[in-house]
Amino acid sequence: MSLDMDPEAFRKEAHRIADWIADYFAAPDRYPVLSRVRPGDIRGALPPSAPEHGESFDAIFSDFERIILPGITHWNHPGFFAYFAISGSAPGVLAEFLSAALNVQAMLWRTSPAATELEEVSLAWLRQLIGLPDSFEGVIYDTASITTLHALTAAREVAVPGVRTRGLAGRNELTRLRVYCSEHAHSSVDKAVILLGLGHDALRRIEADEEFRMRPDALVAAIDADRRAGVTPMAVVATVGTTSTTSVDPVGAIAAICARERIWLHVDAAYAGVAAMIPEYRFLLEDAASADSVVLNPHKWLFTPFDLSVLYCRRMDTVRAAFALTPEYLKTSESSDVRNLMDTGIQLGRRFRALKLWMVLRHFGAEGIRARLAEHIRLARLFAAWVDASDEFERTAPVPFSVVCFRARETDEFNAALLERLNASGEVFLSHTKLGDRYTLRLAIGNLHTTERHVGRAWELIRQLAAELKQTSSVPAS
Ligand SMILES: Cc1ncc(COP(=O)(O)O)c(C=O)c1O
C-alpha cells in the first residue's frame, strides 16, 4: 500500500486548492450569499454509503464544486449581514492550512511546545491590546458557549465545596444555586447552567432598561430575594455586546455588586470585546478588570476563521482545580515547569488554534485591525442614519458598534415577509430578533469584504423590496 497520496499528486492538488481559495477570496460574492438548496438536497445527491475503493481527487473535488458548494451559505460574502457577520481572512486561512498539515494536538506541552507557548504569547498580545491587566491568564477553546461553560464550572467550584468529588445530587446540606444574567444575555448561559446540573430554573434573567442593559437595581433585588429564600448566588454573567442589539451591561456597577456579595462575575464580551482595541472604546473592558472571567471570540470580529474563543481568567487555578486530572500515561518529567493545556479544560486533544490568531495579529497589526473595526462601526452608523432619515423605517435600538436593529413601520408579518424576500435575493442575508415583542430586522457588519457600496446596495434593496411588498402582497401592512 502506498502513502495517502503520491507526493507529486499532493503538490498538484495543494496548488489547485490554494488557487481555488485565492479565487474564492477575490470574489466571494460570485455565489448567492444564502444557499438555495432545499432540505435533503445535498443528502440526496450523495451515495448512502462510503465507497469501497478509493476515488481520484479529481472526482472528489468535482463533487465538492457540483454538490457541496451550492449548499454553502457564504459567510465570507460581503452581503452577509446576518447574526454576527464574521469573516475568515487570508492569513487565518493559511494558518489553518498549516495547522491541518501539522495535525498537532497541544494537550501537553511536550506534545507540541510551540503550540502551547504560542498560545501564551498570542493571548498575552491580545490581552494587552484590549487593555485587560496581566492578572488575567488566557486559554483558547472552540466557542464562547464552551468558554462560558468552563467559567461557570469554576464559579460552581467556588460556590459548592467539594463539588468536584461529591457532585450535587443527594447532598442535603446544599442550598439551591442561582446564576444571573440580563434578559438579553446569550442562550449559551442557559446551556451552561443546564449542563452544570443546576437545572434551568437556576438561571434568573434580570430585567433590562430601555437601552437593553441589565438593571443593577433589579440584580440587587433578585440577589436579596434569593438570599432571603435560602438560595445561594453562584455567578453573574454581564454582557458587553448582547446578541440582539449589542447593548453593554453596566459592568462597573455589576462588578461592585459581585464584589460586595462575593459572587463570581463572568463577562461575555464574545462579540464586542475586541472593540476595546480602539482608543475611543478602551473604556469597554475597563470595569471587566475586576471580573473573575471574560470571554472574547476572535472568530466573531477579529478576522480569525471559525473557531477560536478565548477565556481570560483571574482565577485560572480554580479552572485547573475543576478540570486537571492526569492519568499515568500523560505524566511527563517537565510537568512542574510548563503549562499543560489539558489542565484547563474538558478536552484532552486540542487543535492548534493559536497559530491563526498569531498570524492574524501579525498580518494586520494592531493598527490594521483598529482601522477595520472602526470602518465597520462607521458603516453601521451610516446605515443607521439612512434609517433615521427615512419615513418608512425606524430604528429599534441604539447602535453602539456595528449592528443596526430596524424595522419597516408596518406589521410584524410585513417585516418577516420583507426579510424573506431580501434573503431570497441572493445578494444579502439579514437575520431578525424580537425587541419588546416587536419583530426587528438586524443588519450586522463585520465582514472584511463589506464596503460602503455593499451597505448602500442593502439599503437600496430593502427599500425597493418593501415598496414592492406594499403594492403586491396580501401581507397586512400597517
Ligand atoms: C454575546 C454572545 N455570547 C456567546 C455567543 C455564543 O457564541 P459561540 O457560537 O462562539 O458559542 C454568542 C453568539 O452569537 C453571542 O452573541
Q: Residues of the chain with pLDDT > 70: what percent? A: 98
pLDDT of residue 110: 96
Verify whether ligand 1 is closer than 6 Å to residue 272 (CB atom): no
pLDDT single digits (tens) 43-82:
999 999 999 999 999 999 999 999 999 999 999 999 999 9
Nearby residues of 327 by Cβ (< 8 Å), 6 or more positions away: none
Is the distance from CB of 138 to CB of 310 less than 8 angstroms? Answer: yes
Ligand 1 centroid to Cα of residue 188, in Å, is 7
pLDDT single digits (tens) 114-169:
999 999 999 999 999 999 999 999 999 999 999 999 999 999 999 999 999 999 99
As a whole number, mean pLDDT of residues 213-237 equals: 98
As a whole number, mean pLDDT of residues 221-226 equals: 98
As a whole number, mean pLDDT of residues 387-407 equals: 98
Dist CA 156 CA 159 (whole Å): 5
Best residue among 145, 191, 246, 284 to mutate for probing ligand 1, ranked by most atoms within 8 Å of CB: 145
Verify whether ligand 1 is closer than 6 Å to residue 270 (CB atom): yes
As a whole number, mean pLDDT of residues 95-101 equals: 96
pLDDT single digits (tens) 244-288:
999 999 999 999 999 999 999 999 999 999 999 999 999 999 999
Q: Whose CA is nearest to atom 16 of ligand 1?
A: 243
pLDDT single digits (tens) 340-370:
999 999 999 999 999 999 999 999 999 999 9
Verify whether ligand 1 is closer than 6 Å to residue 239 (CB atom): yes
Dist CA 145 CA 452 (whole Å): 32
C-alpha cell at 404: 443596526
**pLDDT band at residue 87 under the 50/70/90 scheme:** confident
Q: Residues of the chain with pLDDT > 90: what percent? A: 96
pLDDT of residue 472: 85
pLDDT of residue 174: 95
Verify whether ligand 1 is closer than 6 Å to residue 122 (CB atom): no
pLDDT of residue 88: 86
In the predicted structure, residue 476 carries a pLDDT above the cut 80:
no
Ligand 1 centroid to Cα of residue 270, in Å, is 6
Ligand 1 centroid to Cα of residue 186, in Å, is 6
pLDDT single digits (tens) 378-390:
999 999 999 999 9
Which pTM value belongs to this model? 0.96
Verify whether ligand 1 is closer than 6 Å to residue 116 (CB atom): no
**pLDDT band at residue 474 under the 50/70/90 scheme:** low
Is the distance from CB of 444 to CB of 402 less than 8 angstroms? Answer: yes
Ligand 1 centroid to Cα of residue 396, in Å, is 21
Cβ atoms within 10 Å, residue 158: 18
Ligand 1 centroid to Cα of residue 294, in Å, is 13
pLDDT single digits (tens) 451-472:
999 999 999 999 999 999 999 8
Distance between terminal CA atoms of the chain?
A: 70
In the predicted structure, residue 30 carries a pLDDT above the cut 80:
yes
**pLDDT band at residue 237 under the 50/70/90 scheme:** very high
In the predicted structure, residue 477 carries a pLDDT above the cut 70:
no
Handedness of CA 302, 303, 309, 311 (dihedral sign): negative
pLDDT of residue 302: 97
- Burial label, 300 (beta-carbon count in 10 A; 0-12, 13-18, 19+): buried
Q: Which atom of ligand 1 is nearest to the CA of 309?
A: 10
The 8-class DSSP code of residue 62 comes to H
Share the mean pLDDT of the chain.
96
* Integer CA distances (angstroms), 338 to 141, 331, 334, 342, 376, in order: 19, 12, 6, 12, 40
476 compared with 294, residue with greater pLDDT: 294
Q: Which atom of ligand 1 is nearest to the CA of 84?
A: 14
Q: Whose CA is nearest to atom 7 of ligand 1?
A: 144
Q: Whose CA is nearest to atom 4 of ligand 1?
A: 144
Q: Which atom of ligand 1 is nearest to the CA of 299?
A: 10
C-alpha cell at 228: 432571603
